[in-house]
Every structure is written in structure tokens, then in C-alpha cells.
Amino acid sequence: MTNFMLMLKLYFISYLYMFMIFFLFRKNLLLILLMLEFMMLMLFMLLLLNLYNYNNELFMLMIFMIFMVIESVIGLNLMILMIRVYGNDYFFNYNILQC
């Protein structure tokens, strides 16, 4: 049980570290998408660690992985659209809230 708690703490600290980096590099969309992917990977590992005890519940991992792929595809599509319209992926060049 101590090994399980150690792994849980390690994943939680890694997730908080990625969350902190996510807010530090919020100017560039590519870095934001990369940090979101790492955060989703940490959540996947936590889910894997928690669902390991339930042998029949591993289909939730597949559903979570599908949502991870969909999220990354939507993020890359938005980044490509922003680069085509504005010429770069920096947030300080334009106002997101403008209609």
C-alpha cells in the first residue's frame, strides 16, 4: 500500500507541476496544447493506477483515451486556423473576446 501512495503522490505532484507550467507559458498556443496533453497523460496514469484494482473496468481507459485524442485534434485544428488567420499562435497580438 505504501508503494501505491508513493505513486499517487508522484502523479499528483507531476500534475501540479504541469498545471503551473500551463499558466507560466500561456502566451503561445502550441505550448498550451503541449501542457494540456501532458496533464491529460498524468490523469490517464492516475486513472490507470486507480482502475488497476478493478479488473473489469478497463474500458474506461479506452473512453478516456478517445477523449484525449479528440481534444488534441480540436486543439491542433484551432491552432492551424489561428495561424492561417493571424499568422502566428501568440495570444498577445489579438483580442480573443472581440466579435
The predicted pLDDT at position 98 comes to 58
What is the average per-residue pLDDT within 39-43? 85
pLDDT digits (tens, 9 = 90+) for 71-95: 999 989 988 988 888 888 777 665 6
CATH 3.20.190.10 fits 2-93, yes or no: no
Q: Where are the domains of the chain?
A: 2-93
Q: What is the dihedral of CA 54, 56, 61, 3, to 10 degrees?
A: 20
What pTM, to 2 d.p., does this model score? 0.73
Task: Tell me the pLDDT band of 70, cut-offs 50, 70 and 90.
Answer: very high
What is the average per-residue pLDDT within 56-67? 83
φ, ψ dihedrals at 5, nearest 5°: -65, -35
